[in-house]
Structure 1
Amino acid sequence: MNYLDLRLRFAPEVRHPIHQFIDASDAVDRDVLVHGNTLGDEDTFLFYVVGDRNPYAAALAAAESVIDFEITEIDDRSFYTFLKQQRPDVDEAMFAAFQRTGVIVVPPIQFLPDGVATLTVVGEAEALQSTLQSLPAAVDVTVERVGDYDWRQSLFDPGLTDRQREAVRAAVDADYYAVPREGSIEAVADTLDCSTSTAAEHLRKAEAAVMAAFCRLRDYE
């Protein structure tokens, strides 16, 4: 079972009004589609948003495609948005590409400036290839990562290389991270069959990636 991490860039003429708002405003730091229901003629979505509530709500109210919405505060900088909307033509084509046997879209979907959306899809290789080929011309797609899907990895994925994962596992097994430290970098190097400087570099890069991913994860709270 394969997965693809995709980066979609919508052409300016087909961007959703809220996507245009994100491009033009500094009011939103994060806009994430957590869940969605696209059955029937209208779409129902739940978004997690970090930013200023009032400008975001004003943009929703001004969007002709948005039928109704409700905002639920989490704290002074984050909130949920539950909305219903009429489906834009580009979304109709997008959903047709992804809603096929052998393909699953794994939430969340994150919306970024410059008309970009990032998402993960899981499925059979042939069906995934058909999906990519069926995306509308107004949406440019980049495959950022390919691999065998593991749901556990999606819970917290710092994007380590295989060698960095080996280094971290060797360090944990050697009690390198014990308090007080009991293992040594030499023990890690022995397990990896490399020099101590190379082992230390693998660990530094892995630690940097883990901390950055942890901070991104905390941004959802």
Structure 2
Amino acid sequence: MKYLRVELRYPPDLRHPMHRLIDESDAVDRDVLLHGTVLGEPDDTFLFYVEGDIDVYTDALRSIDRIREFGVTRIDETAHYVLLTQRRDTVDDAMFGPLQRTGIVVVPPIDFRPNGVAHLTIIGTGGPLRDALAELPDRIETTVLRIGEYDWRQDLFDPGLTDRQFDALAAAVELGYYESPRETTVETVAERIDAAPSTASEHLRKAESAVMSAFIGLREVS
């Protein structure tokens, strides 16, 4: 079962007003769609995780005619959950349509970022995945960031390592490179993965950086 990590880049005139808020205001740091219910009805329900000034965020919600209702649950000083119902528009239909088909599933979260960017994960089989990507609106620039075999366990904490970085890190852990005191050397790790010591060292440095950055990001969310 394949997964695609996809980046969508919306042109300014197709961005949701709340997505534009991320671009135009320093008050909102993160806006992440955690779950959503999209039915045949004209209104959809979504749960967002929001970091930043919640007053600025909710004021923006009140100014949007499409937003039917919303509720806010505080997590801490800067983080909140926002449950909202909004009326679907033509952009939503163009986006949701290709992704609502037999053979694929959109796996939350969908992370909305500055400059009209959204990141999401889609899992499924080859044909439906290709068809879904092909039918996304032409004006929304679509980039496949990563392709792999889907594993829910990895999705719980995925620093986005390349195959070679993962092999180097797995070998290092198995051989005791991270034990204290250290039980092996970079040279031995390099032999295990059939690489030059300098290459193995570079794989490990990049893997360590990716893992630690992802971990800090996870801690910031939690």
Per the TM superposition, whether the score is higher than 0.5 is yes
Please name the residue that 1:79 is paired with.
Answer: 80
Q: Tell me the number of residue pairs that the alignment of Structure 1 and Structure 2 aligns.
A: 221
In the alignment, the residues of structure 2 paired with residue 206 and residue 84 of structure 1 have an alpha-carbon distance, to the nearest angstrom, of 40
Distance in 2 (CA, whole Å) between partners of 1:19 and 1:202 is: 36
The one-letter amino acid paired with 2:31 is D
Tell me which moved more, 140-149 or 117-126.
Answer: 140-149
State the match for 1:139 in structure 2: 140
Aligned to 1:109: 110
1:118 Cα deviation after fit: 0.7
Name the counterpart of 1:7.
7
Q: Report how far residue 187 of structure 1 moved.
A: 2.3
Residues 138-167 of structure 1: CA deviation (Å, up to 9, x unaligned): 322111112222222211111112111111
Deviations 1:64-97 (A, max 9, x none): 1101011111011100000001112110121111
Q: Which residue does the alignment assign to 1:165?
A: 166
TM-score after normalising by structure 2: 0.95
* AA in 2 matched with 1:67: R
**Larger mean Cα displacement after TM superposition, 210-219 or 43-52:** 210-219
Secondary structure of the structure 2 residue equivalent to 1:219: helix
User: Is residue 208 of structure 1 aligned with residue 209 of structure 2?
Assistant: yes
Residue in 2 aligned with 1:43?
A: 44
Matched with 1:98 is 99
What SS does the aligned partner of 1:182 have? coil
Distance (Å, rounded) in 2 between the aligned partners of 1:138 and 1:197: 43
Say whether residues 1:61 and 2:62 are aligned partners. Answer: yes
User: Residues 101-150 of structure 1: CA distance to partner in whole angstroms, max 9, x if unpaired?
Assistant: 11100000010111111101011111111111211233221111122222
Instruction: Return 151-160 or 57-66, whichever deviates more.
Output: 151-160
Q: Give the secondary-structure state (helix, strand or coil) at the position aligned to 1:7.
A: strand
Aligned pairs for 1:123-202 (under 5 A) are 123-202=124-203
Distance 1:193 1:130 in 2: 39
Which runs of 5 or more structure 2 residues have no equivalent in the other structure? none
Structure 2 residue 27 is matched with structure 1 residue 27:
yes
Q: Secondary structure at the match of 2:71?
A: strand
Gaps of 5+ in 1: none
Tell me, in whole angstroms, the C-alpha distance in 1 between the residues paired with 2:215 and 2:207. 12
Is it true that 1:218 corresponds to 2:186 in the alignment?
Answer: no
User: SS at the partner of 2:221?
Assistant: coil
The letter for the 2-side match of 1:25 is S
Name segments (4+ residues, structure 1) moved above 3 Å: none
Q: State the distance in 2 between where 1:193 and 1:124 align.
A: 33
- 1: CA distance, partners of 2:194 / 2:201: 13
Percent of aligned positions that are identical? 54
